[in-house]
């Protein structure tokens, strides 16, 4: 069995990403994927960098991507900027597809 993928979603305060996280969890469960998805505000990224595999950043936070690279440092974290098309509609299925396209295949993933 593959290890559970640990994903952190960030937006300005964590509110809208909370809804997106719930929708991604639902989409992942529907595909039988082991995934932990939590949402936090962008100010909390460095508190979680040791505990995550993937960091998904709200599309409106492009300006902090350089700072995020500094927080991440040598940690093996994949950083993904979410696309406005699925973020604005909180489309968890499309967000999950984008995430899966950016990482190595997970056991149980179905295309």
Mind listing the pLDDT tens digit for each residue in 50-80?
999 999 999 998 888 888 888 888 889 999 9
Nearest residue to 87 (alpha-carbon basis) of 23, 35, 44, 34: 23
What are the structural domain ranges in the chain?
Answer: 5-102
Token representation of residue 19: 């809804």
State if pTM tops 0.95. Answer: no
What is the DSSP code (8-state) at residue 62?
Answer: G
Nearest residue to 45 (alpha-carbon basis) of 4, 74, 15, 7: 7
Instruction: Tell me what the mean pLDDT of segment 1-27 comes to.
Output: 84
What pLDDT shows up at residue 107? 57
Instruction: Tell me what the mean pLDDT of segment 92-97 comes to.
Output: 97
How far, in Å, CA of 80 to CA of 6, rounded? 13
* Number of C-beta neighbours around residue 6 at 10 A: 17
What pLDDT shows up at residue 35? 95
Fold designation for 5-102: Rossmann fold (3.40.50)
What pLDDT shows up at residue 102? 94
What pLDDT shows up at residue 111? 41
Instruction: Tell me what the mean pLDDT of segment 2-13 comes to.
Output: 82
Handedness of CA 8, 12, 14, 16 (dihedral sign): negative
């Amino acid at each position: 069995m593959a290890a559970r993928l640990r994903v952190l979603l960030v937006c300005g305060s964590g509110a809208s990403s909370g809804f997106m996280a719930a929708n991604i969890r639902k989409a992942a469960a529907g595909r039988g994927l082991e995934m932990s998805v939590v949402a936090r505000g962008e100010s909390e990224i460095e508190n979680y960098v040791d505990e995550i595999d993937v960091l998904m950043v709200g599309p409106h936070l492009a300006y902090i991507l350089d700072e995020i690279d500094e927080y991440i440092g040598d940690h093996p974290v994949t950083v993904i900027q979410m696309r406005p098309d699925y973020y604005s509609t909180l489309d968890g299925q499309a967000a999950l597809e984008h995430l899966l396209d950016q990482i190595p295949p997970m056991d149980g993933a179905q295309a």
